Amino acid sequence: MLDNFRHEFIRFVVAKKVLNFGEFKTKAGRLSPYFFDAGLFFDGQSLKQLAQFYAKALLASGVEFDMLFGPAYKGIPLVAAVAIALADEGRNVRYSFNRKEEKDHGEGGLTVGAPLAGRVLIIDDVISAGTSVRQSVDIIKAAGAVPCGVAIALDRMERGTGELSAVQEVERYYRMPVISIARLDDLVSFLRLDGKLAANLTAVNKYREQYGVTADA
């Protein structure tokens, strides 16, 4: 099945200890039974594999895009790696990223790479408060291009301050899709099938019941 890569991704991040189980305090002050730290993809092989999963998710989504954009700073290595992974899949696309501060010498400008044009898809690690997405959308629109979606590694499917998750808020406010390599639903189904990690299923399900959202909320 096409979606098999989602479980493969969960297995990958567990093996790399990017996804860990236990008790972790989130930014919202909640005690989560799992923690996903995309900052731990810090070697060449891990980044290569991560980018390949992004490419699979993008191609499976059916979302049309002309180029990629990576918000500084985490999005910079991600967008370059995903562009390479897509090229390996036969899809050669341009990419660019932004600087934190606009450069007034040399080539100048706020962005580096290909000029922003057409339908631009944002590559990021996660969506929490949505600040990175908002800034990226502003940059893309200011260049006269069209933001057409966001790709992230993991959707926690967790409520923010209201009834919607941060991902759902982005989708509704900007009217564009958020593509995730995997979601909390995929993690739960993976735990059901994995004997070594099944002990974490009760805690994850309890947390989802308390703070989770449904996919079609």
Asked about 100 being catalytic, the answer comes back as no
7 is catalytic: no
**Considering only CA atoms, which of 157, 101, 149, 92 is closest in space to residue 123?**
149
Contacting residues for 69 by C-beta, under 8 A, at least 6 apart:
75, 79, 95, 96, 97, 98, 116, 120, 121, 122, 123, 136, 139, 140
Among 25, 103, 141, 206, the active-site one is 103
Q: Which is catalytic among the residues 27, 100, 105, 196?
A: 105
Q: In which order are the strands placed within the sheet that holds 109-113?
A: 109-113, 94-103, 67-70, 119-123, 146-155, 178-183
Q: What positions carry a catalytic annotation?
A: 103, 105
